[in-house]
Amino acid sequence: MKPILYLDTETYNETPITHGVYAYAEKAEVMLLQYAFNDSPVYVVDLTAGDPVPQEVINLMLNPEVILFAQNSMFDRTVLARGNLFKNRPDIIEAISNPKRWRDSMVIAYAHSLKGSLGDLCSIFKLDEDQAKDKAGRNLINLFCKPRPKNSKIRRATYKTHPEEWEAFKLYAKQDIVSLREIIKKMPNWNMPDGSNELALWHLDQTINDRGVCIDVDLAKKAVECIEAEQQRLAVQTQDITEGEVQAATQRDAMLRHIAGAYGITFKDLTASTIERRLNDPDLPDALKELLAVRQQASTTSTSKYKALINRVSTDGRLRGTLQFMGAPRTGRWAGRGFQPQNLTRPTLEQWEIDLGIEAIKSGNADLITDNIMKLTSNTLRGCICAPEGYKLVVSDLSNIEGRVLAWLAGEEWKLKAFYDYDSGQGHDLYKLSYSKAFGVNPNYVTKEQRQIGKVQELALGYEGGVGAFITFSMAYGIDLDAMADIAIQNVDVRILEEAKSAYRWAVDNKRTYGLSDKAYIICDSFKRAWRKSHPAITEFWKGLDMGVRYVLNGHCATTTVKQLVIDKVGAWLRIKLPSGRYLCYPGARIDDKGKISYMGQNTYSRKWERINTYGGKIAENITQAVARDVMAHSMPCIDEMGFKIVLTVHDEIITEAPDLPDYSHDYLSHMLSTPPEWAQGLPLAAAGFESYRYKKD
């Protein structure tokens, strides 16, 4: 085993850490450097007292055989390489900048479906008090690592102003290394051991984060100016309409009170869907419609996204640190940090309108081409991501990857053939085919509206979803369920319709109709039943996973296989081995007294570590998304080595920066992205992309 140097830092900076690690690091002062070599004692170097970094530590940093281990290593690596500490030692900076030297307990935790913070890991693994992270240390960090409030007598707390607290701070810093080493001993590392593909992929991820993406800062700044001016105009308009009762349309509670008082109409909320629906109500007073339209404009703003770009961009105009490796629990997909490209809204303007809008914003003439500044700036946000001089963005996206992977995993042969046929130009669009297969309609005659229903079927029903899931996706795609029911009812099999009517009676008795009309509920339930009937292998796949997990958790067998997946239990951990060799991990998995499968995980909404229930369809979703991630991840090293320098990943899309030459084409990138790994033979893949000087939604 290679020798390990455990590292941690405590820093001070006037720049908030919310501006991102890379922007923060440019002006960061390292105050304390904590370290330990292998199992030796932990030492704290007080750099504020003039203590030098020991030569033994420098020697270890320079030794390429020594592993550098940290918690959230992106912070420590970036601060040490880009901060003030080693600015006169380029040899040290080069050595510690190399991501391949590093290991990270937070990333290992994420790779095994655990929470990432050191404090949370100490709680999860129930470390003894003398080994656990000092929870009181948060107050000390706030005291010494940030500027004091403006009304404080001193701007910065130091060892001179707070000597007792400073000594406690050094003890806290020391304890972090103690906790880190204990966590590493207790935490499994099935997915990221030395020499593994996942470790190499994380090192590439760190290179991508270091590389960053070029940002049109001028566009971002001009967009913020446009938005702020428009917000002021809309605020004045709101005051005029409400006679001063509401100062700004963004004041939700004041708006609701005014509407109730002035018009006698009660709104339960002012969400976009609610406003859209009310604006189409012919009985609504014109003055209220005008007020709602103002509210609609004021709410469709991307100010925070633009400001995140401006605040987080480095001095060289590049945005770094936007990707979190293994950020999505269990599946291992990348998550966003700070400015999150994964959460950009879909464009509502044509691309030529967006291009024109970008030029108008930059020249200060946006008001000459639109009367809806908020809508325009929301659409131009993607365009802030651009290519530097002499380069272009080459982008490719895997097509319907989840649908393809699910069919491949389950062995839904007709669907796999349909994907191959479609890719070769010999078959039908899969959303049309989904509707056709469910309702016995010739795919040549599937209408545009029916195709949209087929798309919702594919998105909502592939993971054992029912009426509730269908409603959720229908709302996202603007489908009127009653109108849909009128169109679809003539194509529903009589037997399926009777089963759906019976299900509706049960839903009424149990108050589970979701507020739908009888015909809408019955048709949604019919869609579910028809989809499952036309996908027998996928339906059996859900059942097989549920049964396999139960067999293992009940102790009926140590290991079982479901198709290409291997399920086992190690201690308190349920593991599912994917075709790539990576494990999906479910800590604390068990079956409760009511027969429900559950495990310990982070609640999506509360962020708390708690018990979460699951079932066959949900497990199938986890596996499918994880395999889809592994397919994309497999191609990334080759893509990067071929000169398509990856700058971002957005869901199943890879965004690269390449020389502005014909050899670097989106067709070549798509070919690499859609080449199946050896472990995924028989998986039909397709990808398509574009080349541009600005990022866009193709």
The whole-number average pLDDT for the span 617-634 is: 96
SS3 label, residue 592: coil
Write the pLDDT tens digit of every residue in 387-422: 999 999 999 999 999 999 999 999 999 999 999 999
Q: Where are the alpha helices (DSSP H) in 14-160?
A: 21-25, 55-62, 73-82, 90-97, 105-111, 118-124, 137-144
pLDDT of residue 130: 67
SS3 label, residue 429: coil
CA distance 454 to 531: 10
Write the pLDDT tens digit of every residue in 327-336: 988 899 999 8
Domain range 4-211, its CATH number among 3.40.50, 3.40.1350, 3.30.420, 2.60.40: 3.30.420
Q: pLDDT-derived band of residue 135, with 50, 70 and 90 as boundaries?
A: low
CA distance 692 to 674: 20
Write the pLDDT tens digit of every residue in 30-84: 999 999 999 999 999 999 999 999 999 999 999 999 999 999 999 999 999 988 8
CA atoms within 13 A on the CB side of 524: 30
**CB-based contact 569:589 (threshold 8 Å):** yes
Q: Residue 440: pLDDT above 80?
A: no
CA distance 118 to 111: 15
Beta bridge partners of 33: 9, 45
Smallest CA-to-CA distance from 396 within 45, 97, 638, 139 is with 638
CA distance 266 to 289: 14
Residue 285 has what DSSP assignment?
A: -
Residue 218 has what DSSP assignment?
A: H
**CB-based contact 399:431 (threshold 8 Å):** no
Number of Cβ atoms within 10 Å of the Cβ of 506: 11
Give the tokens for residue 527: 């869609």
Smallest CA-to-CA distance from 587 within 105, 183, 198, 112 is with 112
Give the tokens for residue 45: 């170097």
Element containing residue 37 per DSSP (H, E): strand 29-37
**CB-based contact 330:584 (threshold 8 Å):** yes
**CB-based contact 576:584 (threshold 8 Å):** yes
CA distance 637 to 673: 11
Residue 506 has what DSSP assignment?
A: H
**What is the crossing angle of helices 518-534 and 467-476, to 10°?**
100
399, burial (CB in 10 Å: exposed 0-12, middle 13-18, buried 19+):
buried
The whole-number average pLDDT for the span 337-351 is: 85
pLDDT of residue 392: 97
CA distance 640 to 447: 42
Q: Residue 485: pLDDT above 70?
A: yes
Residue 440 has what DSSP assignment?
A: T
Pairing of strands 590-591, 597-602: antiparallel
Residue ranges per domain, the chain? 4-211, 216-312+322-384, 413-534, 625-692
231 versus 37: the higher-pLDDT residue is 37
Give the tokens for residue 71: 């918690």
345 versus 532: the higher-pLDDT residue is 532
pLDDT of residue 372: 86
**CB-based contact 109:122 (threshold 8 Å):** no
Position 14: which residue type? E
pLDDT of residue 134: 63
Beta bridge partners of 11: 30
The whole-number average pLDDT for the span 362-370 is: 89
Scanning the structure block, which residue is given the tokens 């700044």? Answer: 221
Q: Residue 96: pLDDT above 90?
A: yes
pLDDT of residue 301: 66
Q: Name which of 453-457, 550-554, 694-698 the model is least confident about.
A: 453-457
pLDDT of residue 113: 95
Scanning the structure block, which residue is given the tokens 């051991």? Answer: 193
Q: Residue 278: pLDDT above 80?
A: no
pLDDT of residue 578: 98
Give the tokens for residue 78: 């970036």
655, burial (CB in 10 Å: exposed 0-12, middle 13-18, buried 19+):
buried
Q: State percent of the chain over pLDDT 90.
A: 60
Smallest CA-to-CA distance from 395 within 607, 141, 213 is with 213
Q: Residue 197: pLDDT above 70?
A: yes
pLDDT of residue 133: 64
Q: What are residue 606's phi and psi, to 5 degrees?
A: -85, -15
- Catalogue the E-assigned strands of 279-378: 318-319, 323-324, 335-336
Q: pLDDT-derived band of residue 340, with 50, 70 and 90 as boundaries?
A: confident
